[in-house]
Chain A
Amino acid sequence: MAMTVKLKVWRQAGPGQPGKLVDYVADAVHADMSFLEMLDVVNESLIKRGEDPIAFDSDCREGICGSCGLVIDGIPHGPDKGATTCQVHMRRFKSGETITVEPFRAKAFPILKDLVVDRSAFDRIIAAGGYVSMNVGGAPDANSLPIPKDVADQAMDSAQCIGCGACVAACKNAAAHLFTSAKITHLGLLPQGEAERDRRVVRMVDQMDGEGFGSCSNEGECEAVCPKEISISNIARMNRDFLKAIVS
C-alpha cells in the first residue's frame, strides 16, 4: 500500500554556507522501501523537475560500510536500534507523518553539501596508532598463540565499529570517545596489540582532541545510537589505559 510522507530536509550548497530545512512531499512510498530508497525516489522527481537533488552518502546499503548517516527526527540513523540509516525501512513510519532529515553535525565533521559531511578526522585518529606495527612477511603461524575465546569475542565486539560517526552526532559535546575507544579496546585486548598499548592510547587520544572533538560527559547517547551496539565500557577502558600510560 502506498504511503505519503512529508520531509523536512537540510539543504546546504557547500562548506561554510548557510543552510535551511526545505519541505518535500514523498508520495508512492512503499512500506518495504528502505529510507534511502525513499530519498532516491524523491531525488528522481527533483531531477525530472530540473531541481538539485539531495546529496547524501551511501554505498553498501546493508549496514556495514559506514557511509550513510542521517539524523532522522533528531536521532542519528533514525528510530531502529542497532541499525544504520540504510537499514531503516519505511514500514517504521506512518502515512502522513512529517520526518526531519539532517546531517551528522559536529565541529570536526564539516558539512560538504546537504547531508554529506567530511569524516576524515576518523582516518587521522586511526593513523595515529590504530594498528599493530608488523610488516608483511614477518608473521608467525596463526595458531602459535592461542587466544581464549571470550577474549577474541570481546575484541570482535569492539572491532565491529563501522566508523560511521553516529556516536559523535549523538553526543552533545560531539565527542569521538566511543569510536576511538573501540579501536583501542579491540587492539588492546589482543596479545598482538599489547606491545604498543601505551603508546597507542596516548597518541590516539591526543589526535582525537586535536581534531576538535569534544570531551565525554558519560551520558551514554553514543552507545544508544551505535548501529553496532558498541558498549560505553570501551570508553572506561580507554580512560584507564590512558591514565596508566601517562603515569607509567
Chain B
Amino acid sequence: MVLDSKTPVGPITDKWDRRKFENKLVNPANRRKFQVIVVGTGLAGASAAASLGELGYPVKVFGIHDSPRRAHSIAAQGGINAAKNYRNDGDSVYRLFYDTIKGGDYRAREANVYRLAQASVSIIDQCVAQGVPFAREYGGLLDNRSFGGAQVSRTFYARGQTGQQLLLGAYQSMMRQVDAGTVTLFQRREMLDLVVVNNQARGIVCRNLVTGELESHEADAVLLCTGGYGTVFYLSTNAVNSNVTAAWRAHKRGAFFANPCFTQIHPTCIPVSGDHQSKLTLMSESLRNDGRVWVPKTQGDKRPPAQIPDSERDYYLERRYPAFGNLVPRDVASRAAKAVCDEGRGAGDSGLSVYLDFADAIERHGADTIKARYGNLFDMYARITDENPYQVPMRIYPAVHYTMGGLWVDYNLQSTVPGLFVLGEANFSDHGANRLGASALMQGLADGYFVAPYTVANYLGGATLPPVAASHDAFGAARAEAQGRIDKVLRVKGKRTVREFHRAIGAICWDHVGMARTEAGLSGAIAQIRGLREEFWQDVTVPGEANNLNPGLDYAGRVADYMEFAEVLALDALERRESCGGHFREEFQTPDGEALRKDDEYSYVAAWEFKGVGAPPALHKEPLVFEEVHPTQRSYK
C-alpha cells in the first residue's frame, strides 16, 4: 500500500492556503445533518469539539474523566510557542518551522510543520480573546520566555500552569457549545472499539465506567484526541490513567501506527524515590532558563553539593554545548545526564540524578524574582522531596514524558481509515524524532482550532455516507468483541495484580526501549514482551465485576492493550537501525556520542499495519521529502 500524505503541491508558504481553498465546504444549513464524535477532551479534543460545534456540527464528546477539564493537557507547565516575534529577536514563521524540523532531527513532514508554525500565531490571539491570563509585562503586553532548542524567546506562559489555562480556555469554549446545544458530553466513558462500515469510520463502542454498560454511538466522522502512550513505561510524567487503548483499538481496525519508537525522555524530572512510586513529576524545562545543570567532576564524590567548590563541578551542558548551554533540546540533555550518571558521577544516594542549581540565578536576580518565575514549581519540588530548592540544588533525572509516534495521518490529519481523524499527541505528524519544549500545546490547539475544522468539513462534504444505525451488525460485533475481552480478563482469576504486570512491562520497555537501545536488547525485549503477554492471560487477577464502577477492570483493559502495543514499540526501535532524536541506538553514534542519523536508508515514516496479535505487523513507508530544510547533523555547539 502506498502511503499518500496528500500534501498540497506548490511553495511551502502557500500549501495550507491552497488546501483550504481546494477543500470542499459544507453549507451551514447542512452541517446539522452530520454527526461528529470526538474522543478525548485535552487540548486537541476540546478545541476541535468547540470549533466544530461553533460551525454548527452536532458533536458528541467522550472522556474517561469525571469532567473534561481533567485531561492531562492540564498538567503542562512551561508554555506554548508562537512565532509572534514580539521580542524583535529575529523570530518568524519560517524560523519556528526550521527549529521544529531540526529539533525533530529531520524525521517530521515539512508541510505539516510549516502549517503548525503558521497556526501558532493565531493560537495566541485566540487564547487571549478567550480570557487566558498569560503572563504580562508592566506595560500590559504579553511576556515571553526561552525554551530548549531555540535561540529566540517565543514561549508564552501562564506562570507554571500554561497547560491548565489553555485547557480551561478550550474547555470553556466547548462548554459554551454544550450550552448552545451543539456539543453533548459523555464523561466517564472509555472507547473500546472503532466501528468501521464499508471502510469508513462510522462510530465507536464505549463503556460507561459507572454502570459498566457498553454503548454504541454512530457518526459520520470520528476524531481521536486521546494522547500518547507514555504509560507503557509504567513510570512517566503522564497521568496514571493515560493509556493507548483508544488508539490501539483503532489500529486493530485498520489505522496504521507510525514511528512508535519516537518517545521523549524529559531531562528534568524529580528522581525515583522507591518501588512504591506510581508516577514521576516533571520540573518544567523553563527552569533551565535560570538553573545550571552540573555533577561533581570526580566519580563517587558524595559530599553535599554546597561543599563541592565550583572548580570541582562539571557544568557538562555548558561545557559540551556552549552555544545552547543548559537550553539544548530534551533528547540531548537527557542523554548527557545519563552519560554522566553512567560514569558514576551522579548525585544522590542512588547516583541516578544530576543537580539543577539556582544559586547563581538567586544571587543575580534575588530570591523574589526566582520565586515569581518558578514559585509553584519550587513548592511542588519541596513537597515531594522534602528539600528546599532555594537553599540546596534540585536533583533531577530524565523520565518518559511524551510520545512523538502515534497513529499515522495524512496532511489532512486523516488516518488510513477514511473518516477517522487523529489529533494532538495521538498522531505522529509534527515532532519527528524529538519534540521541542512548548510545542505540544501548540500542536494540540493548532490541530483542534485551525486544521480539523477545515479537513473534517472537506471529508464530510465529499464522502458518500449512507445512514448507519447503532443497530447495524458492525456495532453488534464490536460490542460482542469488547464484552468478550472483559469477560475473558475477569475469568482468569490468577495470582498477579494488573499493577504487577504493568510494572513488569514498564521495566522491559525502560531497560531496552528507553534512552539507549541496542539490537540485542530490543530482540530480547520482544521475546520478553511476548512471554509476559502469555503470563498476563494466564495469571492476572482482576477484582470485582463488569456491571459497576470498577477502576481495577478499566486498568486491566489498558494494561492488556500495552501487552500488545509494547511489541510494535520495540519492533519499530529494532528496525530503525540509526539514531535520531529520542531514538538512540548505541551502535549508531558519532565519536563524541551524538546521534548518528542514516538519511540514505531511514529518511521515512515507518507506519505499521496490524496483522493479528503475535503476528508480525506489515511495514509501510512514507518517504520524507525535504524541499526547504537540508538535513544535516544537528549541532547545538
Interface residues of A (CB under 8 A from B): 13-14, 30, 32-34, 36-38, 40-41, 43-44, 46-48, 50-53, 55, 57-67, 80, 82-83, 87, 89, 91, 112-113, 116, 118-120, 122-123, 126-136, 138-143, 145-149, 152-153, 155-156, 159-160, 162-163, 186-187, 190, 192-193
Query: Quick check: A143 and B141 within 8 Å, CB to CB?
Result: yes
Query: Quick check: A149 and B137 within 8 Å, CB to CB?
Result: yes
Of B50, B86, B125, most buried by chain A (CB within 10 Å of CB) is B125
Rounded to whole angstroms, the CA-CA distance of A42 and B240 in the bound complex is 17
One of A55, A116, A156 near B158 (C-beta < 8 A): A156
Query: Quick check: A47 and B497 within 8 Å, CB to CB?
Result: yes
Closest Cβ neighbor of B372 among chain A residues? A153
Rounded to whole angstroms, the CA-CA distance of A120 and B450 in the bound complex is 29
Besides A123-B68, A156-B158, 17 new A-B residue pairs in contact (Cβ under 8 A), listed by A number: A30-B276, A44-B499, A47-B543, A48-B497, A48-B541, A55-B551, A60-B75, A119-B66, A127-B175, A132-B172, A136-B51, A136-B450, A139-B125, A142-B125, A142-B129, A147-B136, A149-B138
Query: Assuming the A-B contacts A87-B383, A146-B141, are A126 and B171 also in contact, with contact meaning beta carbons closer than 8 angstroms in the complex?
Result: yes
Query: Quick check: B552 and A53 within 8 Å, CB to CB?
Result: yes
| Chain B neighbourhood of A64, CB < 8 A | 74-75, 161, 164
Give B155 Cβ to nearest chain A Cβ, in Å: 14
Of B84, B158, B185, B279, most buried by chain A (CB within 10 Å of CB) is B279
Q: Does B396 contact A (CB under 8 A)?
A: no
| Chain A neighbourhood of B240, CB < 8 A | 58-61
Query: Quick check: B136 and A59 within 8 Å, CB to CB?
Result: no
Rounded to whole angstroms, the CA-CA distance of A148 and B127 in the bound complex is 17
One of B130, B273, B541 near A47 (C-beta < 8 A): B541
23 contacts between A and B (CB under 8 A): A36-B278, A58-B240, A60-B72, A60-B240, A62-B282, A65-B71, A66-B74, A82-B379, A116-B549, A119-B66, A123-B69, A134-B130, A135-B54, A140-B129, A148-B136, A149-B136, A149-B137, A149-B140, A159-B168, A160-B161, A160-B164, A162-B74, A186-B133
Query: Quick check: B274 and A33 within 8 Å, CB to CB?
Result: yes
One of A41, A47, A65, A135 near B72 (C-beta < 8 A): A65
| Chain A neighbourhood of B603, CB < 8 A | none
One of B140, B210, B380 near A147 (C-beta < 8 A): B140
Within 8 A of A (CB), among B318-348: none
Give A52 Cβ to nearest chain B Cβ, in Å: 6
Within 8 A of A (CB), among B529-566: 541, 543-544, 548-552
Q: Does B187 contact A (CB under 8 A)?
A: yes
| Chain A neighbourhood of B383, CB < 8 A | 80, 83, 87, 89
| Chain A neighbourhood of B579, CB < 8 A | none
Query: Assuming the A-B contacts A44-B497, A66-B69, A160-B161, are A60 and B140 also in contact, with contact meaning beta carbons closer than 8 angstroms in the complex?
Result: no
| Chain B neighbourhood of A153, CB < 8 A | 133, 136
Q: Does B65 contact A (CB under 8 A)?
A: yes
Rounded to whole angstroms, the CA-CA distance of A57 and B188 in the bound complex is 11
Give B188 Cβ to nearest chain A Cβ, in Å: 9
| Chain A neighbourhood of B541, CB < 8 A | 47-48, 50
Rounded to whole angstroms, the CA-CA distance of A63 and B164 in the bound complex is 11
Query: Quick check: A134 and B129 within 8 Å, CB to CB?
Result: yes
Q: Does B264 contact A (CB under 8 A)?
A: no
Rounded to whole angstroms, the CA-CA distance of A163 and B65 in the bound complex is 13
Query: Assuming the A-B contacts A41-B276, A142-B128, are A136 and B175 also in contact, with contact meaning beta carbons closer than 8 angstroms in the complex?
Result: no
User: How many residues of chain B have a CB within 8 Å of chain A?
Assistant: 81
Rounded to whole angstroms, the CA-CA distance of A51 and B544 in the bound complex is 8
| Chain A neighbourhood of B158, CB < 8 A | 156, 159
Rounded to whole angstroms, the CA-CA distance of A87 and B279 in the bound complex is 12
Give A46 Cβ to nearest chain B Cβ, in Å: 7
Rounded to whole angstroms, the CA-CA distance of A116 and B551 in the bound complex is 11
One of A83, A123, A149 near B67 (C-beta < 8 A): A123
The 10 closest A-B CB pairs, nearest first, are A146-B140, A131-B172, A139-B129, A139-B125, A156-B133, A142-B128, A59-B239, A127-B175, A155-B133, A131-B176
| Chain A neighbourhood of B164, CB < 8 A | 64, 160, 162
Query: Quick check: A37 and B175 within 8 Å, CB to CB?
Result: no
| Chain B neighbourhood of A34, CB < 8 A | 278
Within 8 A of A (CB), among B159-176: 159, 161, 164-165, 168, 171-173, 175-176
Rounded to whole angstroms, the CA-CA distance of A48 and B339 in the bound complex is 40
Query: Assuming the A-B contacts A118-B66, A127-B179, A142-B124, are A62 and B172 also in contact, with contact meaning beta carbons closer than 8 angstroms in the complex?
Result: no
Query: Quick check: A65 and B161 within 8 Å, CB to CB?
Result: no
Query: Quick check: A37 and B277 within 8 Å, CB to CB?
Result: yes
Q: Does B89 contact A (CB under 8 A)?
A: no
| Chain A neighbourhood of B130, CB < 8 A | 131-132, 134, 192
Q: Does B392 contact A (CB under 8 A)?
A: no
Of A67, A148, A187, most buried by chain B (CB within 10 Å of CB) is A67
Q: Does B384 contact A (CB under 8 A)?
A: yes
Rounded to whole angstroms, the CA-CA distance of A142 and B156 in the bound complex is 11
One of B67, B131, B179, B549 near A163 (C-beta < 8 A): B67
Q: Does B139 contact A (CB under 8 A)?
A: yes
Q: Does B178 contact A (CB under 8 A)?
A: yes
One of B70, B125, B171, B176 near A59 (C-beta < 8 A): B70
Give A137 Cβ to nearest chain B Cβ, in Å: 8
Query: Quick check: A192 and B128 within 8 Å, CB to CB?
Result: yes
| Chain B neighbourhood of A32, CB < 8 A | 273-274, 276, 386
Rounded to whole angstroms, the CA-CA distance of A38 and B138 in the bound complex is 45
Rounded to whole angstroms, the CA-CA distance of A129 and B84 in the bound complex is 31
Q: Does B504 contact A (CB under 8 A)?
A: no
Q: Does B122 contact A (CB under 8 A)?
A: yes
Rounded to whole angstroms, the CA-CA distance of A65 and B64 in the bound complex is 13
Rounded to whole angstroms, the CA-CA distance of A162 and B84 in the bound complex is 29
Rounded to whole angstroms, the CA-CA distance of A136 and B387 in the bound complex is 44
Rounded to whole angstroms, the CA-CA distance of A152 and B137 in the bound complex is 10
| Chain A neighbourhood of B550, CB < 8 A | 55
Of B66, B70, B138, B453, most buried by chain A (CB within 10 Å of CB) is B66
| Chain A neighbourhood of B68, CB < 8 A | 123
| Chain A neighbourhood of B499, CB < 8 A | 40, 44
Closest Cβ neighbor of B71 among chain A residues? A65
Q: Does B281 contact A (CB under 8 A)?
A: yes
Q: Does B142 contact A (CB under 8 A)?
A: yes
Query: Assuming the A-B contacts A40-B499, A60-B75, are A129 and B133 also in contact, with contact meaning beta carbons closer than 8 angstroms in the complex?
Result: no
Q: Does B625 contact A (CB under 8 A)?
A: no
Rounded to whole angstroms, the CA-CA distance of A51 and B552 in the bound complex is 12
Query: Quick check: A156 and B159 within 8 Å, CB to CB?
Result: yes
Query: Assuming the A-B contacts A59-B65, A127-B175, A160-B161, are A136 and B74 also in contact, with contact meaning beta carbons closer than 8 angstroms in the complex?
Result: no
